[in-house]
Amino acid sequence: MQEAEAVALADRAGELLATMRAAEASLGALLVEIEQRGVRELFGYRSVARLLEQLADVPKAAAERMVKRARALNPGRNLDGSAIPALAPATGFAALAGRLSNPMIDVIVAALTDIPPEHRDGAEARLLSFAGEAGHRQVAALGARILAHLDPGGPAPEDSEPAVPARELSLRRRGSGMWELHGRFDDETGMRASALLDALAQRRPTDDGGPDLRTPQERYGDAFSDAVDLAVNSPDLPMQAGERAHVMVAVSLQDLKTGVGQATLGDTGRMSAAEARIHACDSMIIPAVLGEKSEPLDLGRLRRLISAGLRRALYLRDRGCAFPGCHRPPRRSGWEVRIAADGFPEFLPPRFLDKQRKPRRNNLHRPLPFAA
């Protein structure tokens, strides 16, 4: 019953999204028509974006983005009456049918802008075909590879040296045991960090199947902790004093057995003995058990659920996470993974995303089809 309910709700959401997208595409076509007829003569505004800003009560930047998108999808006219062909006419038809999100339209338009005109029709057909089964990030990757195929040399390098990105970060521990993080980053680093935390901060059900009641701030705090775990677990992490990065937890044997008392975390941190019991077998924490006189009774070592050799073999085979559109191990419910006949992993989405459960693959780490 839960699965049927999820499918029905997802279907309804899909219908509404298609209606919204089709309506916005139709509005964009209308704005281009108004621009051709003369927005100043008809409405007294100096631009269609200004008119939309007032009619829709949206910020100027949002109105300008919508008008720019509409011009790329719909044919226009010059001041002398000559026709201006649409940059992405097939994408415009798909948008009117409600099949494309704005991010998908934008990545297709951005790709076609850089592709030579004689190759645009074929490239647009490829991109739209791929858009039917992939997200906008994967379509953007395909667009970049099509461009690289058509122009292997790329643009000529600039004579000037690239500017050094501005990145600053401070992390300090307060007397209460809480840590404060402050920093500022260049746009590229900020976007990558945002994408990472967005992926890790998705709502997920509790162990007993209940809803995720964490606030957005709590989810992103947990996401940052998960990101640290992923980084510490990276085989490329530099060594410190001949060892991989690790945290030492010291707890008395009595407290470890009973779960009552305190444990030392690192140099000055504290955690409960109950938490120490949970982390004692964690692959990222080295347990150190002390006797009554603080003599070391047992000193653990780092352990992994899979060997380094197996991890490298998976990397050589998959070139990264095999989940569609993902760059790291996902935490998603309802998906199934299996090894296909050709020896590569594929993922079956839950029924609320795809009733047919058509297998999907990650194409970010392997060659994608090029334009003819």
Which residues are paired to 77 by β-bridges?
A: 83
**Which 3-state string (H, E, C) describes 251-270?**
EEHHHHHHCCCEEEECCCEE
Which residues are paired to 154 by β-bridges?
A: none
Number of H helices and number of E strands within the chain?
A: 13, 11
244, 302 in Cβ contact below 8 A?
yes
pLDDT of residue 67: 95
Q: The pTM is what?
A: 0.52
pLDDT of residue 302: 47
pLDDT tens-digit readout, 135-144: 898 899 899 9
Locate all alpha helices (DSSP H) within the chain, ordered by sequence. Answer: 2-37, 39-43, 48-56, 60-73, 89-96, 102-114, 117-131, 136-150, 187-200, 216-232, 253-258, 273-279, 308-318
pLDDT of residue 370: 42
At 79, which amino acid appears?
L
Residues in the chain predicted with pLDDT less than 50, given as ranges, are 283-284, 302-305, 329-331, 367-372
